[in-house]
Amino acid sequence: MNNRDWDNVEQIGVDEIAVFKGHKYLTCVYQLDQGFRRLLWCGKDRHAKTLLRFFFEFGKTRSERLKFVCSDMWPAYLKVIKKKCTNAINILDRFHIAKKINGAVDQVRRDEVKQLKADGQDNVLANGRWLLLKKPKNLTEKQAPKLKELINLNLSSIKAYLMKEDFQRFWCYKSATWAGKFLDDWTQRSHKSELKPMSKAANTLTKHKSLILNWFKANGMLSSGAVEGLNNKAKLTIKKAYGFKTLGCLQIALYHQLGKLKEPPLTHRFC
């Protein structure tokens, strides 16, 4: 943990990972600069005080140099980022936006399954969770025709699924203005759908509209999958360190595996 080089960091990602049982978390801060992606810091819990500890160690000067901060919608993180990263653009991670919408689709499916059982109807949505949550290109040979059958049925779950897939058009826009208009239209349609989980998700997106549109200000400089990729490596490290019983030991393991500064590719180094 000593002798960590924190200079020249311009892009960071903030997220939490679950550890042990009982809703225990580590807040992880990653460097996301192209060619220099690594774990910078991790701390116990996911409170505002946790992230404040990072910025205290990181220092005011370095914080003012930050250009982009990628995060989810956790209020404690957003509050601290707004206070400490005065010159940075806070981008809401694309993965977490998709996760929010997927969660709404899955809730619609669960509610509909309960209703089908209550009405004594066949559960046509049996084993249908991943049919609705996967990207169409990732469906297996058995799943693709099954989804095609479901789409022909008048189901609330299919209505939610189609809305989820339609939202993918948001990321294809080049203009934040037009993307904002699409987002407004999508949220209105979500409310008119009378699907409460979708309407709730739409309310969340509307609340964070300005931060969501910041994605376009990055001009593709910040990969939306970078944080999740590093999180997956962190989770794998924790799994391998199964015998470690304390958060302190896990932190050391994470720093050892993910905290090393990686050399950038040659094409980047000599540009």
According to the model, what pLDDT value does residue 269 have? Answer: 31
Query: What stretches in the chain show pLDDT beneath 70?
Result: 1-4, 22, 220-224, 240-252, 255, 260-271
Around Cβ 70, how many Cβ atoms within 10 Å? 29
Whole-model pTM?
0.84
pLDDT digits (tens, 9 = 90+) for 120-141: 999 999 989 999 999 999 999 9
Strand (E) or helix (H) holding 146: helix 143-151
CATH code of the domain covering residue 263: 3.30.420.10
User: Is residue 6 situated within a structural domain?
Assistant: no
Count: domains in the chain: 2
**Are residue 16 and residue 70 in the same domain, yes or no?**
yes
**Are residue 198 and residue 122 in the same domain, yes or no?**
yes
**Are residue 26 and residue 77 in the same domain, yes or no?**
yes
Cα separation, 215 vs 154, whole angstroms: 35
For residue 65, the enclosing domain spans 11-93+225-269
Cα separation, 238 vs 240, whole angstroms: 5
**Are residue 107 and residue 185 in the same domain, yes or no?**
yes
Q: Residue 268, Cα to own-chain centre: how many angstroms?
A: 27
According to the model, what pLDDT value does residue 264 have? Answer: 40
User: Is residue 60 situated within a structural domain?
Assistant: yes
